[in-house]
């Protein structure tokens, strides 16, 4: 919260220049259903830390959490500075007609356009934490078992209803042959022979999502898994192969336990494939060669990048979470959340005395004065405007 001093130039040497972090005012946080507690409360923590008042709109899809938050939060937070608003898309639309000083939205890209359009009417700044199809490139030069462990781990934990989860794999047909048994072995090791009975596997959030995902099982060819149970909203950890770029499973963010593999020949083709598509929230590259990993990093763009792992950077508060392009704008976690919800106000405190020193900046101007001004503004950037 402390003021950050700014450097001064010769014209402002006697002044005190600093940046003060202040609250925006009234913040609206619209939260999603996939990690309904975390993705609602972490932004809230930052907004409150920055001194704002908050209106919270939890997702109506994660009904249990919605109810608990609405009951519990007012018992702990100052009710004049904080409110929970419940409702579906219609209520959210009405909420967005009001003026806020900041809007923080986590959710799908399709809804975010209308959030930003609504914000534009009041010139309200926004952070949009969206998603997209996060590619995971697996080079020929790496250990398939390590890849399988790291890719299958956390994503499967939440049924891959995770915005940063690897959405699809890119690898050569030869690597695919080595990966499939490794993936199968990992799934069996983590969840047993009958994953449906494993206590470590969640379920799909609702029927609508379940139906959507089940339809995707028809793409390509099922190499692992493929089972589903409507009563239980269960879909088995599934790997699809022989997938075409034009099929539905490669057109939308999957957000479920289905992992398609698309074949490419080498890192160049993988990079071309990735760059033809929207910038993702996360990009993963597995290779023993640091050159390959660096190429991937330098020639693509994404919100975040991970070399040789499947998820872990989410646990680091020093590394922000945020997208670029269609995967989002803005970023948060740790201090980045505080900064997101703070207005950084530029301040200059000037002395009233020593007015004579200011004379060079007043008209009437002369050549001599101009020379002095040129020298005083010097090599440090200064904008008179």
Interacting residue ranges for other proteins, rule: CB under 8 A: 14, 20, 22-25, 109, 112-113, 116-117, 119-121, 123, 128, 130, 275, 297-299, 301, 305, 309, 312-313, 315-316, 318-320, 324-326, 328-330, 343, 345-355, 358, 361-365, 367, 370, 373-374, 377-385
Nearest one of 263, 3, 316, 276 to 137, comparing CA atoms:
263
- Which is closer to other proteins, CB of 87 or CB of 317? 317
> Shortest approach of other proteins to residue 72 CB, angstroms?
29
Task: Name which of 232, 242, 239 is nearest 257 in CA terms.
Answer: 239
Q: Residue 285 and residue 310: Cα distance in Å, rounded? A: 9
Distances (CA, A) of 269 to 12, 95, 163, 172: 54, 45, 25, 10
Dist. CA 37–CA 199, nearest whole Å: 20
Those residues whose C-beta lies under 8 Å from the C-beta of residue 251, and which sit 6 or more positions away, are none
Residue 279 CB, nearest distance to other proteins (Å)? 9
How is 197-209 classified by DSSP, letter by letter?
G-TT----SSHHH
Q: Which is nearer to other proteins, 199 or 353 (CB)?
A: 353
Residue with Cβ nearer other proteins (97 or 367): 367
- Is residue 237 within 8 Å of residue 193, measured between CB atoms? no
| Whole-number Å distance between alpha carbons of 134 and 168 | 7
129 carries an active-site annotation:
yes
Give the nearer residue to other proteins in terms of CB position, either 81 or 316: 316
Q: Are 369 and 360 in contact (CB under 8 A)?
A: yes
Smallest gap from residue 65 Cβ to other proteins (A): 26
Pull the structure tokens for residue 342. 């703070």
Question: Which residues, 6+ apart, have CB-to-CB distance to 19 below 8 Å?
Answer: 3, 4, 6, 344, 345, 346, 347
DSSP string across 90-121 = HHHHHHHHS--SEEEEES-HHHHHHHHHHHHT
Residue with Cβ nearer other proteins (231 or 276): 276
Residue closer to other proteins by CB (options 111, 214) is 111
> Using CA atoms, how far apart are residues 187 and 195, in angstroms rounded to an integer?
8
Contact of 308 with 283, CB cutoff 8 Å: no
- Which one is catalytic: 22, 129, 252, 269? 129
Could you give the residue numbers annotated as active site? 129
């Amino acid at each position: 919260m402390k003021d950050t001093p700014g450097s001064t130039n010769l014209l402002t040497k006697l002044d005190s220049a600093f940046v003060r972090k202040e609250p925006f005012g009234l913040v609206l946080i619209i939260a999603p259903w996939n990690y309904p507690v975390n993705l609602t409360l972490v932004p809230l923590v930052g907004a409150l830390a920055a001194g704002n008042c908050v209106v919270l709109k939890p997702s109506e899809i994660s009904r249990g959490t919605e109810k608990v938050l609405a009951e519990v939060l007012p018992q702990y937070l100052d009710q004049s500075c904080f409110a929970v608003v419940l409702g579906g898309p219609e209520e959210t639309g009405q909420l967005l007609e009001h003026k806020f000083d900041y809007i923080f939205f986590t959710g799908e890209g399709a809804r975010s356009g209308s959030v930003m359009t609504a914000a534009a009417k009041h010139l309200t700044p926004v952070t949009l934490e969206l998603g997209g199809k996060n590619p995971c490139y697996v080079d020929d030069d790496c250990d398939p078992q390590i890849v399988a462990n790291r890719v299958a781990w956390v994503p499967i934990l939440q049924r891959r209803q995770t915005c940063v989860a690897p959405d699809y794999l890119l690898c050569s047909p030869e690597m695919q042959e080595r990966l499939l048994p490794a993936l199968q072995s990992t799934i069996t090791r983590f969840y047993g022979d009958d994953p449906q009975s494993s206590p470590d596997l969640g379920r799909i959030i609702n029927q609508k999502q379940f139906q959507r995902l089940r339809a995707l099982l028809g793409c390509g060819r099922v190499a692992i898994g493929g089972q589903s149970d409507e009563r239980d909203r269960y879909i088995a950890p599934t790997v699809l192969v022989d997938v075409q770029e034009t099929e539905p499973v490669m057109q939308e963010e999957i957000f479920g336990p289905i992992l398609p593999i698309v074949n490419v020949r080498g890192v160049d083709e993988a990079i071309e494939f990735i760059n033809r598509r929207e910038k993702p929230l996360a990009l993963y590259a597995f290779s023993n060669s640091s050159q390959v990993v660096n190429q991937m990093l330098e020639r693509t763009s994404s919100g975040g990048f991970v070399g040789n792992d499947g998820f872990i950077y989410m646990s680091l508060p020093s590394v922000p979470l945020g997208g670029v392009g269609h995967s989002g704008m803005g970023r948060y976690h740790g201090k980045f959340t505080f900064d997101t919800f703070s207005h950084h106000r530029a301040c200059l405190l000037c002395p009233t005395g020593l007015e004579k020193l200011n004379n060079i900046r007043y008209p009437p101007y002369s050549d001599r004065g101009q020379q002095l001004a040129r020298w005083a503004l010097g090599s440090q950037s200064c904008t008179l405007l």
